[in-house]
Amino acid sequence: LQTLRDNLKLFTPDIMDRINTEVICSGYQLLNLDVSASIKGRCDSFVLKTDVHFPTDINLLYDAMSALFRQCVHWRQDYHLPDWRQHKHNLAQFKQQYRRIQRLRHSTSKDEKKKLAQADLICKAHQIYIDLAQKYLNLITQSYELLIGKYQLPKVLLLDMQTFLQHGDRQVDQIRRRVIEGETIPHDEKVFSLFQPHTEWISKGKAGVPVELGIRVCIMEDYHGFILHHKVMQKETDDKVAIEMVKLTQVKFSEFNACSFDKGFHSKSNQSGLKEILDEVTLPKKGKLSIKDQPREYAEEFKQAKKKHSAVESAINARQVHGLS
């Protein structure tokens, strides 16, 4: 076990990439395929879902406070931290206010007077909630400073506490701005999970799937079912990675010369850029086709490549079913 632990840290993404390439070459040999012959592929992305609950600013604040309470109780076992003797009662009180907001927001009254009164109650409940949170954040900050100052704990041991203090401050600020001040919080300021901060709010426009929580992953599959290359897309969309995916695939497999995409990868720069590095490009255009584009997309070769492109969904499903999601 210790040998495994010692060597696992040496297992870098670059080594994994090289192993993948060797596996593909071996697979080609087993199937009597020539890896130096022309290789065709299909590129698509999917959302790798993270294990998170549906995020709201109030439940994210509760998550932050719960984590901070656990941190303080942990350090209280070895160091004298005042104000944490009633930590269970205090957290229960905070959760009670959180539940009260949830109940108030479920009102379905159509009467305008009742709706106005309910809105006022909701606003006041949020104010109590963030006031209570701020009270506990101040106590936690005092405990943090006590551990750093009086007990001389290295800051590296308190990174989690520092991180969740920042999360708590941010959520208090956003709740105040949204509910009390009526501001719309910009999307790029929002966090969708405290424990998996890479989680993104993704809307790909699929029927019946308005939103997915996770991170995009792009794959390049050849016509024999081998994954030639993949990329984790952090804060990126399909149209931003099309050319990069092809170029990096060609670094590993120089004979890669044809690729199909769906409409999500379309952009003017991709249409022209891909033609410079591939012999065959199947990239449908978004919206209504111009007279200039009709001959290209109505060509029999283009239609056949579009039909074959849908097979990449099978590769995506296989990865999700076999434990990637």
Looking at per-residue pLDDT, the higher value among 105 and 183 belongs to 183
Q: What is the pLDDT of residue 168?
A: 98
Burial 157-175 (b: 16+ CB within 10 A, else e): ebeebebbbebbbbbbebb
Q: Which CA distances in Å does 284 have to 264, 293, 297? A: 9, 9, 7
CA-to-CA distance for 314 and 108, rounded, in angstroms?
A: 43
In this predicted structure, the answer to whether residue 145 has a pLDDT above a threshold of 70 is yes
Q: What is the pLDDT of residue 323?
A: 64
Average pLDDT, the chain: 93
Q: What is the pLDDT of residue 266?
A: 95
Q: What is the pLDDT of residue 110?
A: 78
Q: What is the pLDDT of residue 324?
A: 63
Contacts of 4 by beta carbon, 8 Å cutoff, 6+ apart: none
Which pLDDT band, with edges at 50, 70 and 90, does 174 fall under?
very high
Beta strand extents in the chain (DSSP E only):
39-49, 200-202, 212-222, 227-233, 256-260, 280-282
Which pLDDT band, with edges at 50, 70 and 90, does 234 fall under?
very high
CA-to-CA distance for 72 and 93, rounded, in angstroms?
A: 17
Rg (Cα) of the chain, in Å, rounded?
Answer: 27
Contacts of 179 by beta carbon, 8 Å cutoff, 6+ apart: 122, 123, 126, 127
Q: What is the pLDDT of residues 191-229, one digit of tens each?
A: 999 999 999 999 887 777 889 999 999 999 999 999 999
In this predicted structure, the answer to whether residue 173 has a pLDDT above a threshold of 80 is yes
Q: Return the percentage of the chain with pLDDT > 70, whole number.
A: 99
Q: What is the pLDDT of residue 131?
A: 98
Which pLDDT band, with edges at 50, 70 and 90, does 325 fall under?
low
The predicted model gives 300-319 an average pLDDT of: 91
CA-to-CA distance for 245 and 229, rounded, in angstroms?
A: 7
Structure tokens that stand for 250 in this block: 């060609």
Candidates 15, 30, 47; CA nearest to 226 is 30
Candidates 291, 295, 236, 298; CA nearest to 267 is 236
Return the SS3 of 233.
strand
- Going by the DSSP 8-state scheme, the letter that residue 155 receives in this structure is G
Asked: is 36-50+198-324 a CATH 4.10.860 domain? The reply is: no
Could you state, in order of their start, the residue ranges of all structural domains in the chain?
36-50+198-324, 57-189
**Does the model's pTM come out above 0.75?**
yes
152: alpha, beta or left, given left = phi > 0 and alpha = psi -120 to 50?
A: left
Q: What is the pLDDT of residues 236-266, one digit of tens each?
A: 999 999 999 999 999 999 999 999 999 999 9
Q: What is the pLDDT of residues 118-127, one digit of tens each?
A: 999 999 999 9
Cα within 13 Å of Cα(91), Cβ side = 18
3-state helix, strand, coil in the chain (%, to 5): 55, 15, 30
> 34-38, 175-179, 228-232: lowest mean pLDDT where?
34-38
Q: What is the pLDDT of residues 24-71, one digit of tens each?
A: 999 999 999 887 889 999 999 999 999 999 999 999 999 999 999 999
Q: What is the pLDDT of residue 39?
A: 94
How many other C-beta atoms lie within 10 A of the C-beta of residue 280? 15
Q: What is the pLDDT of residues 127-144, one digit of tens each?
A: 999 999 999 999 999 999
Does residue 63 contact residue 195 with C-beta atoms inside 8 Å? yes
